[in-house]
Every structure is written in C-alpha cells, then in structure tokens.
Structure 1
Amino acid sequence: MVTSEVKKTGETMLRILGCCEWYALPEGPLEAVSGTNVTFKTLIDPKEEINATAWFFSNGGELMRIATLSRSQESIVFKNYQGRVTVNQTNGFLTLGPLAMIDGGDYYVNILTGKGVKTGEIKLRVLEPVLNVTIRANVSERVEFNSTVVLTCSAEGSFLKFSWTNGTAPIMADNARLAIEEETTSSTLTISGIQSTDLVGPIYCTAANQLEMEKSAPFNLTVILPPPLSVSTTQPGIVSTFWSVTFENPDPCALKGSSVQFRCSYDYPDGETVHKNEWFRGDIKNGRWKRTELSSLSSYQNRVKYIGDREHNCSLELYDLRDDDTGYYYFRFDTNTYGWRSKRSVYLSLTDLTASVKPDSVRVGQNVTLTCDTSCTLPGLTQIVWYKNGQPVAKPPHFQAGAGDAGSYTCAVKGQEFVQSNPVFLDVQYAPLNVTIEVNHNGSLAEGRSVNLTCSSAANPPAVIHTWYRRTASSSILQVGSGQVLSLPSLELSNTGIYICQARNRLGENNSTEVLLEVDKSERLPEKEKEGEEQRPTSPYTTTSSHATTTQSSNRDTRVDNKDLLDIQCVLFDKLQAELVEMRLSLERNLRQMEGRTHSLLWSMTRRLERMTEAMDRKSAPSHQSKTYLSLHHLLSSRVLAVTPSSQPPGILPMSLHTRAQRKRGGQRGNRS
C-alpha cells in the first residue's frame, strides 16, 4: 500500500515547472461521440523508459487528478474515474469511456523518463450522436403548380452540417428559385414557383458531423398542374364552364361563443370528379404566410362541420367561437386531373356584446337609454333582447325610470340568448314608499307589558329619519318619538291611540297606514311579572334607531334630550287633562242622581206630615198645630230648604237641594212620628 506522503511527493515531483518539455501530446482537439471510448495517445519514444505518469483534467475550473502510475507503486485511479480509466505503463496512453457530455474539456499529462519530465495538453470535444433526421413541409403531399414549398429538415446532434438531394442529385441554392438556410439543428429549403420537374425523385436530407452521418426518410411531393382557365367546346351534350370558388359572405361577423357559417360554392368543368376538398386557415408563421388544414389543427377539433358536398356546395360551420378564430380561411378542391384553391379568402371577425345604460343613476320619472353595441356588424336584422337580474324584460331603448326598474341589465341577440353581454347596473332613487308599521309584543296588550313598533319602508337611498305620531281622542296629532323602532316599555291606558310613522330621505317623505293600539284595561300584568322585568324609564315611550343600539339596565341612568323631555311633558299633560274631565263628568252624574232621590224622599215625607196634621187637627185642640209644624221642621235636615206645605202639586214645587259629595250613611236621620 502506498502511503499518502509518497503520493504527495510523487505528484510534486511530476508537476515541477520550468524543467519540462511540452511535446508529450499531439495537437487537438480530439473528438469523440458520447457513449463511446476515447484513447489519449502520447508522443513518447517507445525506446524511452517511463518511470511515472500522471493525468489531470480541467473544464475551466480547478485541476482534477484522473490517475497516476509509476514503476515503484501501483496504479492509482481517483474518484469519478474508477472503472472508466486505464493507463498504459509502456507508453502512457490513457483510455476513457464510456464518455459522457461532462467529460468534454482540457486534459494534461506529466511523464517522467530517464531524460526528464515531459508534459502535454489536449482538448476533448464530446459530441452528441446524430439522431432523428426528419423532413416536414408547409403543404400537403399535393402541391399546386407555381406555388411556394418550404421543406424543413431537423435533427439531433452536435456540430451538425446538412445537405439536400433530389434522388441522388444534390440540391444547391441558386439565390433565385432555390434558397437554403441553416441553423444549429435544422436546415430550410425553399422552392419558389415550383414546377413539375422540381420534385421528380424523393427528397432526402442528410445531417452529419466529423464522426457520424444520418439520412432522413424519403419525402415525396406531387405537383398538380393548373387547370385551363376555361373549357369550351361545340360538341353537343358538353357544357362550357370555369374553375371557380365563390363565397357568399366573405366578411362574416359573429359573437364569441356562438357559431357561424361560411356559405360557399365551387364549380369545375364537366367530366371532372372531385375526390378531395379541404378548408385551410391562413397565418403568418416565422415571417412566412402559411395555410394549414383545419382538420390537422387540434384547436378546431369537434368545432368544425363541413356541411357541403363533393359536387358544388363547400359551406362550412364553426361552433363555440373563440378569440383566436379570427382570421383568414381558404377552400381547396382536387379533381382527378387538377387542383383548385380559392383566390380570395373568408375573413372572420368576432365581437362581444357591450351593454351600457345612460345615465346609470336617475330619479323616478327621469329618462333612461339602454344600448347594446358590437365591434362589427352582425348579419341580417339583429333583434336585441334585454334581461334584468337574469330574467327577460321587455324594455324599449328609451323609457322613464320607475322604482321597480333598478337592477342589473344584460343584452343578447334573439335566437342566441345563451351569449349575453357584460352586466350594467341602473340605480333609481325615490322617496320612501310602502311605509308600514309592525307591532311586536308578547302576550296581550295589558297594562304594564312592553310593546315595540317597527317602521319599515322601500326607499333609495334608505330612509334615515323616522318620526312617530299618535292621534288622540280629540283628533289632535302628537309627536311621541323618533327612530325606526318605537318602544313602549310599560303600557298604560294613556298609550291607547292611533299611531303613524313618517319615513324620510333626502328625496322626500311618506306616512305609514294608521295602526290602532288599544290597551286592555280589564287585564293587568301580574305583580310577579313586574318584579321580574328590568327597571324601566319613567317615560311611557322609548324610541330606538335602526342605526344604533340602546342598552337598558337597572343601574344605568336614562338620558333624554330636550325634545324627548318636551314630548314626555306633553303626554303627561294630556293624560292629566283626560283624567280631570272624566272625574268632572262622574261627579255631575252622581249629583244629579242624589238630587232626584232626595227630592222624591222629601216630597213623600211632606205629604205624610200633611195627612198626619190634618188627622191631629180633627182630634186635638188648635193649639197643637204649631207644635206639629215644629216637629216637621225638626225632621228636615238642616242642609235642606223646604217650603211650607201647600196645595201645589209636586211637579211645580220650587225646591233647591245641596248635599255633600261624601256623606256618611251612619249619621242620625231624625225622628219619625
């Protein structure tokens, strides 16, 4: 085993500079194909005795050791080269393989002989193998006379050179009708004004480098001679005609996503039989105009339908039109004798539907205009239909906006409704409409319960001001709150009335229908429910707005502004006034009842006393008469004034009675005799 110190000493000795002769290797470069083996031969005289040899490699970076060999030690092959390198002890030759592309670079050798150290350098170029030589053309196998054919030969490999042959004869560029352009991995042959003699034999392309060569498969083209401009004869039964292709709509316009038809007809002399017809797409590729069969383009698969025949109809239909379908289209037909291509083309234009509304924001009653535009003119009399929010709507181009006209509009062409335009939005502004009140309460409308009245409306912009009113028994209107929700936290009899909500935005205002709120005075909230409810404000009305949230708690003060305080005072005053009026009416009714009853009682007593007096007069002396009258006055109440009994009837007896409103029944009534 050779120690590392011995290795280091030997390499240092072999790479001493200034003492070496530079003729150990021939001049390069040396070329080899990837996957093969290569041998680096030295220029050492076979008669010279070699004591040690060292090989190195560099690809422009650090110098790497490949192998070392000497008489006093075994051969050493370094990593990445083990199993691929051998060194000849006699002449110092290095054999490397199989080669990879990364093996290309500079190789160095140091050889120690009896005469000294000799060194050398050589470059290795690793070439890719020549593969896949193919020819493709810009036309089909049948070429029209006097047209231009472009053949492209492509191959894989390194340092390639190309050559063309027609059969065995080489094809050379003449800078007139024949032109050849070469690139790294391809060659292009262009033949202008092609003649029937240009492509007699099969065409071959050969790709080669200094080590390998490969030829393409034969490529054949058939040149179709031009038909005569016209065929005329005087023989009976034969009709004269011309070769022609006619497009009925040469510049069609269609909607993206829809379908289109190219209406086409073609003609040819009698006696000819059409055996092939084809539609082409024309495009500029690599600076050249190229026609490609639609049947060979993957983007047209399942979207093309030939609706013609092989007699005179050459119409074509395209479906599901896309942006890249815009362009030129050609038709060609071949007979048993000639081929004919349309001189003109069909140019297809595609368009979107563009909807617009002007103005896009209006008030009710203002004029609105709807338009549906295209970038090209659609064929025929196109009828536009409109959709609002996805539903068909019958709208003229000009109309006066109503509240129900707001929404998203799209347009379409009748018969192709599946293709619609971009949506446009019409904003119609109006004052509040359909103002309604919703009463929300739990259980019956008994005293002490809570009720919420919610005001809603249709408005654009939405109503921002809500004012509440109550109509009293005297038909007067009182403002009782503001905000979208009117809360009555504890119902009282005074809350009974007709309620009205007024909704307002910047365009106007409107009132709701009247809602009757009648508090049931025959039913009251139980005391336990009152104790369980939260403490309520002293005011019978509480209003909240839809734009804010009011939080009530038993330990939070209720704050009202001056306007709310004035509303509360007005309500309390109305309540007090109503109670006073009711008390006065009740008192008057009681007084009238008491007066009538007292009048009847006194009249009856008076008649009885008169009869008693008359009886006593008959039985007793006259001196007792005054005592009897004294007893009568004693029986009458001190608060009642009565006239002396007379013969006047009760109906005309003048009498004035005044009694106390609150009289106890337990007092003395006087003595009855």
Structure 2
Amino acid sequence: MACPENMFFLIGLFISGVLACFGRRDLITTMPDRLDVLTGSCVQIPCSFDVPDQHKDKFKSTIPTFGVWIKKYPDVHQYPGNVIFHSNGKVNRYQGKITGNLSQKNCTTVFFNVTTSYSDIYYFRIDGQPYCATDPVKSVEIVVRDFPSSPIITVSGEVKEGTPVSLNCSAVAPCPEHPPELTWTLPTQFTTENQLQEKPDQTKSVLSTVTFTPSYLHHEKNITCTAVYPVGTSNKTAEHNMMLNVSFSPKDTLASISPADPVLVGSCVNLTCSSTANPPVTNFTWFKISGGKPTQVASGLSYTLNVTSGDGGLYYCEARNSHGCGKSNEVQLAIKGQEEVIGVAAGTLGAFLLISLISLFVWRRNSRLHDGLERTDSPQGQNSPVGTVCTNQATAGEEPEEPAEDQPEEIHYGDIDFSKLQTKETPAAAQDRVQGQESEYAEVNVTGRGAQEPPLNNLDGLYAQVNKRGGC
C-alpha cells in the first residue's frame, strides 16, 4: 500500500493538473526546467511570476511581498516542513536571498554553499499579500554535482584551408558571481573573445569564440576547450576535445613507376599516383611530356601500359577534388637500347664541340703569332737599276714585336742599294749578259700579317741579278 504522503502528493498533482487544464492556476511562474550546480558553489534560479486575470485586483504592488521556496511538494499547508526559504527571514534552511524585485514580479533567487542534499525539485510561492498563491505546475530541478559538466564546442561554417573560421565554446554559469574561465588549446595561432551570455530561459553561460586560419596540416588535429570553475579556495575543471576536420585541395601528390629501371620494348610498366586530400580525390589524370608540352594519356589512380619504342619519356599525374588539384613530380620511363643511342649521340656531340674548341684555339694562336709580321708588295718598275724592299723596323737578330690588338698596321719601306755590294760576277751571270737577257730586279713586299721572309739562299741570286743590271 502506498504511503499516505505519496497518496496526498499524487492527489495534489492531479488536482493541480485539472485546474491548470481549465485555466485555474492561481500563480503562473517562469523558471528553467533544470540547473546543474557544483558542490560548494552557488546557484542562481532565474524566476518571474504573474497573477491570473481573475486575481489581479488582489495583488497590490504597494504592499510588501515575500517569496517562499518549497522543496519536493507544493502544498505548503500540508507540508510546512518543506519550506526551505522565506524572504521574511523566518525560515532560512538554505542560505540565500531573493535578488529580484518581487513588487515587479521578479522572483530570481540565489542559494549559496550548495551541497549534494540540495538536489531536488522546487516550487515558488508568494506571501504577505491579501492574495497568497503557489504554482503547483511549474518547478525547477536542481542537480548538484561534484564535478562540472563539460563545455560544448560548436563550429560556425565549414573549416576550409586558407579561410578564417570561428569556433565557439560554451560553458554553463550556474553561479554568475563566479563564472568559469574558458581557455583554448589549438595547433596554431588564434585570437579569443569571452563574454557572459543569457539563454532564453534566463540562465547564464560563458561563451568563448576563437578565430584562426586553418591549414591542411591541422586536419585531424585535436583542439581543446577547458572550463575552470572557482569553488571556494580551489578550482574545478572540465574540458571538451574535438578533432578538426579541415577541407583542402590535394597535397603531397606523388607519381611512381614500377619497375623504375630501363625496360625492354613489350614489357609491362605500371605508373601509380597518390595524394592526400579532404574530401578524397575524385579524379586522377596522367600526362606525358611530348615536345616540351604535356599531353593527356590516361585517367585513373594507376596507368598500365605495354611499352613500345615511343612510350619512353617523362610522365606526371594530377589529383583533383572539389577544392582544387595537385600536380605530382615527373617520372622517367626509360627503354633499354635508347639510352645507348642517346649516349653515343651525346658523346659524338661532345667530341665535335671539343675539336671545334681546339681548332679555334689553334687558329687564334697562329693569328697572334703572325700579327707581328709585315709584308711589302711594290709594283715592278722598268729600267730601274735599284731594287726596293719593305722590311720591319726591327734590327737584325731581334724578334719583331707584335702590334697591339685593334691597332692599325703600319708599313715601312726602305731602299737598299745593292750596287755598293762587292760581289764577283759568276760565269753564268756573264753568259746571261752576253746573250742580252733582260735585267731583272727583285722586289720583296712584306705585309703585316701572315707573310714570311724569303729564304736567305734566294738572296744571293737576287743580289747577282741586281748587280748584273747595275754593272757593278
């Protein structure tokens, strides 16, 4: 059989419900349904009330009004021991105070030094007026905990690489006089803004907003919001961890080839593309560099081909998702036999260049050696007894000086009178004179470049012909 107290309570609730259905509530209160509180801390109960129209003339704002809090059962007459607080000071089982203005129908109340025994449901009543009433329908549940509940992290919008984003962390503040302090732990630099907010049910909470610019390196990294509640001389903490989900275009795109060594024509070669992206890559495309320009050759994560002689060269892949694309490194598909041809061609070209450089060096060296030589070239004169010879200014036994580069060449002429040379007439010369051979004279023209001096053994004949003409 049910206890009498429980029976009365159930009957009271039934009657209150019936009256409420017919609009017969004598007092209408507004309170939150539940409050989570820390042991040793305080709790603020947001509260307001109104008087039904049929009783408005009985409520006088000029008359002092008192507030009463009743635990568990609303019937104060049947359970007077359940009154835990009366603002007139007669009952103060719970240390507290009504901070609202009752004459303005504000019944907000604060209780201090909360213990676990405070966990229960509570009703509000007005007293001191010609009209006194309790709201038997609306109550508030107080839940006292030794540790605070975890804060809540929410994200405003998509967390996308390179785009600033804001994260919100909210923690309840059941004791607004000592609100929690919120701190963040993030894998990057950030800025924060904290503020005390009021919810629609008039309860308080602390909201912390952090703003940062995510990178793909932050994907799947943990972030933490920590709430620190001051309780007496110590602190109680609670935290919330969340993994970042950062959207980004393909990164670290890599192309590989197997086998990597040169292969024979007809062999099977597999090219594979890999990339990191969020959301995952939706399309892989393969390109071959031909004539210095990329040409699309295939699509897909892997590209397999039976090698022909024209397949050799450089390949790369592109990975793409909804946020962009990423290009891989270039890989070389080498075919056996082609590298030997390339090596021979490269060697031939190198040898040709080497020979060309040597030839150029020898030509320039010879040109420098001949820069110091000069030639004379005079027209042949008739009936002239004397030969004219162009010589260098250098004396016998001395090396001719090389003219400075880019200087105009100078040609020096000198006359040599061979008639003063005392030489004997040879029998051959006499015979030539008898036969009436025309006299000859020699002219030597030494130019500045590339000319050579006549051999000394030819000078004897030259002297003889000149002397024969001169009759010396």
TM (norm. structure 1) is 0.26
Higher relative contact order (CA 8 A, sep 6+): 2
User: Per residue, is there more strand in 1 or in 2?
Assistant: 1
Larger of the two Rg values belongs to structure:
1
